[in-house]
Amino acid sequence: MYSVEQSFVEWLADRNYAASTYPPKEGTEFVTVERTSGGVEDMLDHPTVAIQTWAATPTRAEEMALSIRNALFYSRPEGVAHITVDGLYPFWDSETRLPRYQLVLDCTAQLTD
């Protein structure tokens, strides 16, 4: 079964980012991926995906987010046919107090069995 989250995690790992769908331990650079919404029609998935970059400083979190955004202009995760970047903004974590940035992506992906 196709998972857009897993596809993004694998794509990020290929670019040397430690990525998962759960938050990092304190003090590490990390990227999380979360499907936040989206519908399905005619075997096409239209997920909204949040990619969050976590780092020790706000500057580094922003650099990571910009690097990922720019890489998406040249390649896409497997199964993702189209990506629109809807937002890129600081998004501090209130629990860990780690700086993070968030990219919000609207995607189109082909569903598979």
The total number of structural domains in the chain stands at 1
For 4-53, the pLDDT digits (tens) are: 999 999 999 988 887 776 666 666 788 999 999 999 888 889 999 999 99
- Tally of CA atoms within 13 A in the half-sphere of 19 that contains its CB: 24
43: left (phi over 0), alpha (psi -120 to 50) or beta: left
The enclosing H or E element of 70 equals helix 58-72
Average pLDDT value over all residues in the chain: 89
Rounded to the nearest 10°, the torsion over CA 26, 32, 37, 41 is: -160
Domain with residue 26: its CATH number is 3.30.2000.10
- Residues 54 and 48: their CA atoms lie apart, in Å, by 20
Residue 99, domain extent: 4-110
pTM summary value: 0.88
3-state secondary structure of 28: coil
